Structure formats: structure tokens, C-alpha cells
Amino acid sequence: MRAGNPARSAARWIALAAVVALLAALPWCGNAVLVQFGISALLLATLAQGWNIIGGYAGYPSFGNSVFYGLGAYGVAIAMAQYQLPFWVGMLLALGLGVAFAGLLGLAVLRLRGHYFAICTLGLALVMTAIVSNLPLAGGNIGLVLPLLGNAALFYELALGLLVLATLTVFWLARSRFGLGLIAIRENEEGAAVMGVNTTLYKVLAFMLSAAFTALAGGIYAYYITYIDPAGVFDLALNVKMIIMAVFGGPGSVLGPVLGAFILSVISEILATKVTSVASMFFGIVIVVAVVFMPRGISHLVAHVRQAGWRYFVDNVRAHRL
Amino acid sequence: MDAILEARGLTKRFHGLVAVNGVSFQLRRGEILGLIGPNGAGKTTLVNMVSGTLAPTAGDLLFEGRSVRGVPAYRRAHLGIGRTFQVMKPFPGMSVLENVAVGALFGANGGERNLERARAWARACLESVGLGKRIAQRADALGGPDRKRLELARALAMKPRLLLLDEVMAGLNHVEIEEVIEDIRRVRAQGISILVIEHVMKAIKSLSDRVFVLHHGEKIVEGGTAEVLSDPRVVEAYLGRQRR
Amino acid sequence: MALLAQIVVSGVLLGGLYALMALGLALVWGVLNIVNLSHGALIMLGAYATYFLFTGAHVDPFAALPLAAAALFAAGYLIQRGILNLVIRGPMFNTLLITFGIEVILTYLAQLWFSADYRAINPRYAGSSYTFGGVTVPLVQALGFAIAIGLTAAMWLFLLHSRTGRGIRAAAQNLVAARLYGVDPKRIYALTFGLGAALAGVAGGLYGTVSQINPYIGGPLTAKSFVIAIIGGLDNPFGVVVGGLFLGIVESLTALYVGPTYRDVASFGILVLVLVARPSGLLGRTA
């Protein structure tokens, strides 16, 4: 809602467009490892941005987004491996599965608040592996093999396109009536309802929007990786990653989750090659440190640390400690 | 007599405890109806049932002649019922302007869809309660009296036809109370009907056309302001509270 | 019919263990308003502590339980004092998230130190069992059940009658009042979390005697403990026992009649159903 200086906001748009153009040019530098890393970082950023809609804006900390990712991956895999349909039909199926499931699930569990919502979605994420393992259509616990395309650059550009789309959506959201309604729900749900916000509808819509990007990311991943099994794509650890990236970057901000995903992807990649034993613990350490010292994420830190200096971290601890 | 709001035997029980027991009343179009009673008398419970955040155990509620039983809170806001909260519920992380803009965007008839027009209207509401200079601040940075004003502005931004004011004057000093009384008079002059819950008797006396009294969840007296306030049962209900 | 009786008995024995697992989670949740997502990891550590005392120092697993409890108490006390007390007044989501971070760290530390191999605690008497009218009761499980129920009762008495227990209950009701009452919140919170961790430690030791362990068992155990706490409510330890028995029996019946892969589906199906039908829990207070 801030009316920024138009010249500065134009400069910011140009800078962002330049960053996107640079990112889009990356596959032509010829480094296959870099492209591979890029695909994973872009998909994670999309997941973090998708989580941001339900977790950051509406304030419902979903541990069930990995379910939408898995559904998206299986949507593409079933279409392509079981019915020999083209990829784009698979993506439509992925989108449909993810969004429909989010709608149904949302109606049931978005009535729960706080811990209850978080753990209910967590429980669901835990059982999805078991449920899908028992479906013959999904290949049971053996999984499905997709046709090999072998064009990493294409997947890279697809992932980048999806991330840009997700980020533009969140940009619109932050400035729209719908987005303001979601923030009102996050800040005080009862207050939002008596002021006329249809809280149930808004929460379910936010969940579905969140699921849409998450499922599409899963679909791209399935075709890219060419083999999926239930344990691999209904992975709770992935949900943990998206939450950490969004929270580390700044939940409820437009660019924070993307920034968080990029920064953490780079650090964890470096750790994985240099000090493997710490790498797996890395995300745990990041959460603990981030929640204690910078609970509002990088984007808030960048905006305020210049004024406050080191006191920024001390003040965060002071505000929440016993 | 044209009633904008009519309660028929409204009752709310919480696990056997009766908070509101068979309360009936009418609020006439354009009037200010005072609701008083000792703490714990069930006043806020009654307001919650009118605004739709609590479902009554029994009884019926008519808004502009139509029953709103089972109508969710947000739809009642669209119908034109606005309220403030005794325990204030601002959106702490939003700016003062955004807080009020939510009311403008979602209030009566579903609110204003255009963001710019909604913001302009929100600004006007904030100016009318004297918060025009604070629009860019975060809501949780406001002090007590300003928070009360913010509650009022948020409800006004919804363009309600019926306004429920739950202790908007608690904790204010004399000057501030006078200001809020003036604000409420101006609201009524726009044709908005008002239910005022208040412990500040001065405000009840100078604002209300009629008053009714809740005690232990039941309506004990109803009538003109002066006669109700001198009624021995009312005095006893209040003195009983003070003796404790 | 004999089969059904056997299944119900197995379910009850499993349920006693489940109840003990959930007890610590419910205690921490009820008093500190923290849903401790690292609870399962603490159970896992308790299992390893018992395992290494048994294989390394040849301590009988049941004799090792108090030692595991003491070790986990210390760990829990430090976690609360050093980390959780720093964020406890923040938004609920922050405490939830930070316990998740602790869970990740503990899980991978365990993987680093203990490797990802499956292990089992097998004392000499592991195979012995008694048979009553066609129903077999394994000795180890029966002992575990007795300990679980005994500890729950002890917990109840402790909270009701000891000075510290009263302090904990006061802190659960109202921290300001607790301060006036002379309770140091930092200490009482750390004690409570330590107790929760100690209960997890004992539960882990018992779990290791009836089931295989590896560093990753924590997540599902946290979720199960949560299911039980939801069913039983946070008001009283016996609600947790009822929840544990219920879940144990349902899981055993599902494994038999639907298929073993559906066991977890059943428990989380119950979770979702209970929450949707009664968001405050089956036996708990309504908010």
C-alpha cells in the first residue's frame, strides 16, 4: 500500500527484469552442473513462494504443501507414463489434482487454527506416502518411469517461468483486495470476519492458489527427473525446506521467499560439497538461529538492520524471550 | 414502530452456564440504544450474537425485518452490521490506513472493490475520528485512546446501517470522552442506528434515547434513559457489584 | 475370536507405550503452550541411550531406563533454558518452527554418530512370553505396559501433590499468578520441558525393546503423540492413557483387517476426523 517514489520503483523494476534476463541466459554458459543446480534452486524458490501465499499471507502454516507437490509430480507421471499423453496435458492434470485436492482439504482443515492446522497437515503429509504406495495407477511403491527428454535447459527455463509467474501473482496479491483480506485473516481472523471478509472462502482460495504453483513445480520436477516414487515426491523434508526458505527470506513479503530460497540453496550446495556432515543439519541450524535472531526474515532484516545495527538482533531476542 | 434490529428471546448457554437468558429488545431505526449492566452481565455475549461471532443457543434475531439466524458474521457485515470490540482487535502488523481500508473494502454490500476509492474513504473515516495524521503508522504502535478511535474508524468505514459500540470509551479521559461522544453524535446524524454498551454513565446519559439493563444475563429494565438510571433495581445491580 | 482377543491385547500393550510417548508431549503442550515437534527425536535419543547402555555397558534395558531418563532430562532442561525460553513469547508458529529445527538437528546428529542402520535392543528374555487362554502376552511388552501406566500415575501424583508439581500447574494456568506465588518461570519451564524429555527418554527405551530403531523414527512418533494428545486432551494424564489405548487398538485392528501398510493411515485418519469434528479434542475442554 506504500506509494513509492515512481523513479525509484521504475529503477527497481528494471533491475528485477535484468536479473530475470540474466537468469534466463544462464543455460547458455554451458555449465551443466550449474544448470542442474539452477533447476533445483528455481523449483525450491517456487515452492517457497507458493507456501508464502498460505503461510506468509494468510498466516496458516501448512505442513501439507509437499502433498500438492507430490500430486503434481504424479499428475504428470500418470499422464505420460500410463497414458502416453503429452507433457502439457500432464501439467493440466497436475494443476487440476493439486488445486482440487487443496480445495477439498482446505474446506476440512482450514477451520483449524494454529497448532491444530499445522499438525493436521503434517499428519496428512505423513500418510500420503502410504496411500499412494497402495495405488496401482501410481505404480505402487515401485513408482513410475517417464520418457527421457534430456533437455536440461528447457526445464530450467520452465522452472524460471513458473517462478516469475508465482512471484508476479504474489506481487499482485500484496496489492489487491483479495490479498488485503488474507492479511487481515492472518492478523486477526475474528476481526476480519466481522468486517466482512468471507474468511472460509478466502482461506480456501489461498490454499488452492498455493497448491497450483506447488503442483506445477512438482510436474516439472517429475518430467525432469524421469523417475518418481511415493517416498521421493511426498517428502516431508521438502515441505520443511520450503517453510524454512520462506521464513528465512521473510514470510508475507513479495521477494523474501525467493531470496531466502536462493541464499539457502547456495549455502547448502557449498556445504554439501565441502563439509558433508554439517550439510544435512544445515537447515535445522538455520531455523533455530533465524527464529531466535531474525524471526521476520531477510527482507525485514535488510530494511531495518541499517538503522538498528547489532541491536536489531538483540531487540528480537528481547521481544520474545521469557 | 420501525425496528432495525429485533431480538426475540435470545439465549446463550456455555456448558450449562447461562450467559444470556431470553433477552428481547428492539432497536428503532435512527435511535441510539444504550445497553448497561455490571461486568459479566452478558453484554458482550449479546453483541457477539448480533454480530454473528457467536451462535445463540435459542431465540431469534431480526435485522431489518429478516431473520439472520445462521447467517455468518461476514454476511452480516455485508448486510450493514458493524461493530467495535471491547478487547480491541486491530490488525497489528498493518498500517492504520490499511486497517480501516479493510472495512471499506469488505463492509456493507460487500464493500468497495476499487482500492483507490476504498483508501480515500478510509482516510476520510480516519480524519473524522481525529486520526488523520497517523495513517502511516503501524496499528500496534498506537496508544490506548488512539486504538479506540481506530476501532471506531474501522467500523465506520464499513458504512454500516447498524453500529454496535462495545465500550469504546473505557480507559479514556474526560476530554477524550467528550470527543468520542461528539463523534458518535455525528455518526447518528448520518442516519446510522447505534447500540452503545458503556460503563461511562455520562456518555449513556447524553447519548442514549433509551436504555436497557442486563443483569446476570437477563433484561431487568428497559425505558427512557433518565427513568432507567434512577430505577431501584438498576441501582441495586450496580451497588451490588461495588460492594463485592 | 481368539485372534480378535489377541489383537486387542496386543493393541492394549502397544497403547500403553503410546500413552507414555504422548504424556511428555501433552505435558509440555499444556504447560508451555509449545507443541514440541522434536518430541519424537527425544524419544529416538532415549532409545539410543538405552541401546548403548545395553550393548556397550551390558546394563539391562529396564535398568537403563532411569539413566536414559536422566540424560534426556538434562538435554531437555538445556534446550528449554538455552533456546526455547528465548522465543517463547513470540508467535506460536515460531515456537513450532524452532522445535522442528531442533528435530532436524537431533535427527542428523544421531545419523552422524549412530549411522542410519536399524538396531534393536534384544535382552536374553526378549523372546519369552506367557499364554493365558490362547492369548499370548510377550514379557517385554507386558513390562513396558506396566512401566508406562505406573509412570503416568506417578506423573499425576507428582503434579497434584508435590511442590514443584503445583508450581508447574500454576505456571500452566497463569504465569503472572505463578510469579506472585514465588515460581521462577524460567526454571519451572525448563523443569517442565526436562520432565517431558525424560518421559520421552523412557518411552524411547521401551520402544527400542519392542521395535527396531533408527535416527528417523522421530517424525511419525511426534505425530502419533500429537494424535493421542488430541484424543485425550491436555487436562489430565488419564485422558492420554485412554487416547494411547484407543490408538493402539485401532492400529492393531487396521493392520489385521485392512493391511499393515494402512496402520499409519488409520491413525492420521483419526487425527483429521477428530480435529474436524471436535477441534478441541475428543476428551478435552471445549475452548
Do the domain assignments include residue C269?
no
Domains and CATH numbers, chain A: 6-255 (1.10.3470)
Question: Is A274 an interface residue toward B (CB < 8 Å)?
Answer: no
Chains that contact A by 3+ CB pairs under 8 Å? Answer: B, C
Q: Are residues B172 and B237 in the same domain?
A: yes
Q: Rounded to whole angstroms, what are the CA distances from B218 to A316, B11, C130?
A: 48, 9, 65
pLDDT band at B244 (very low <50, low <70, confident <90, very high): very low
pLDDT at A45: 97
Closest residue in C to A286 (Cα–Cα): C101
How many domains is chain B partitioned into structurally? Answer: 2
Using an 8 Å CB-CB cutoff, list chain A residues near B108: 196
From B95, B110, B119, residue closest to A196, measured CB to CB: B110
Please say whether the beta carbons of A107 and A204 come within 8 A: yes
Across the range B146-152, mean pLDDT stands at 91
Closest to C218 in 3D by CA, of C55, C36, C72, C75: C36
Q: Would you call A284 helix, strand, or coil by DSSP?
A: helix
How many domains is chain C partitioned into structurally? Answer: 1
Q: Do A295 and C90 count as a contact with CB atoms less than 8 A apart?
A: yes
pLDDT at C287: 34
Q: Are residues B64 and B110 in the same domain?
A: no
What grid cell was written down for A72? 503434481
The DSSP annotation for A47-111 comes to HHHHHIIIIIIS----S-HHHHHHHHHHHHHIIIIIH---HHHHHHHHHHHHHHHHHHHHHHHTT
Chains that contact C by 3+ CB pairs under 8 Å? Answer: A
Do the domain assignments include residue C24?
yes
Do the domain assignments include residue C244?
no
From C104, C185, C269, residue closest to A281, measured CB to CB: C104
Closest to B165 in 3D by CA, of B50, B78, B11, B30: B50
pLDDT at A89: 97
Tens of pLDDT, residue by residue over B85-112, are: 887 778 988 999 999 999 999 999 888 8
Q: B214 — phi, psi (to 5°)?
A: -105, 140
Helices (H) and strands (E) in chain A, counts: 16, 2
Tens of pLDDT, residue by residue over C78-116, are: 999 999 999 988 888 888 889 989 998 999 999 999 988
Q: Would you call B173 helix, strand, or coil by DSSP?
A: coil
From A111, A292, A322, residue closest to C279, measured CB to CB: A111
Q: Do A187 and B115 count as a contact with CB atoms less than 8 A apart?
A: no
Q: What is the DSSP letter of C90?
A: S
Q: In a structure prediction context, what are the per-residue pLDDT tens digits for chain A, which is 322 residues long?
A: 444 577 888 998 999 999 999 999 999 887 889 999 999 999 999 999 999 999 999 999 999 999 999 999 999 999 999 999 999 999 999 999 999 999 999 998 888 877 788 888 888 887 888 788 888 888 887 889 999 888 999 999 999 999 999 999 999 999 999 999 999 999 999 999 999 999 999 999 999 999 999 999 999 999 999 999 998 899 888 988 899 899 889 999 999 999 999 999 999 888 888 777 777 788 888 889 988 998 888 888 888 888 888 888 888 888 888 8
User: CA of C129 to nearest chain A CA: how many angstroms apart?
Assistant: 32
Q: Are residues B96 and B58 in the same domain?
A: no
Closest to A267 in 3D by CA, of A295, A251, A289: A289
CA distance B155 to A150: 59
From A123, A284, A291, residue closest to C94, measured CB to CB: A291
Q: Do A119 and C105 count as a contact with CB atoms less than 8 A apart?
A: no
Identity of residue C175: L
Do the domain assignments include residue C160?
yes
Do the domain assignments include residue B241?
yes
Q: Do A291 and C98 count as a contact with CB atoms less than 8 A apart?
A: yes
Q: Are residues B130 and B170 in the same domain?
A: no
Rounded to 10 deg, the angle between the C39-57 and C185-210 helix axes is: 60
CATH number, domain of B238, equals 3.40.50.300
Closest to A165 in 3D by CA, of A44, A50, A35, A25: A50
Q: Do A193 and B101 count as a contact with CB atoms less than 8 A apart?
A: no
> For residue B214, what is the enclosing H or E element?
strand B210-215
- The domain containing residue B54 runs over which residues? 1-72+162-176+192-244
Do the domain assignments include residue B229?
yes
Give 3-state DSSP helix, strand, coil % of chain B, rounded to 5. 45, 25, 30
CA distance C18 to C13: 9
Q: Do B102 and A198 count as a contact with CB atoms less than 8 A apart?
A: no
Do the domain assignments include residue C231?
no
Q: Do A281 and C105 count as a contact with CB atoms less than 8 A apart?
A: yes
Using an 8 Å CB-CB cutoff, list chain B residues near A251: none
pLDDT at C281: 55
Best mutation target, A195, A296, A299, to test chain B (most B CBs within 10 A): A195
Q: B92 — phi, psi (to 5°)?
A: -60, -35
User: CA of A111 to nearest chain B CA: how many angstroms apart?
Assistant: 14
CA distance C203 to C43: 6
Do the domain assignments include residue B26?
yes
Tens of pLDDT, residue by residue over B160-170, are: 999 999 998 88
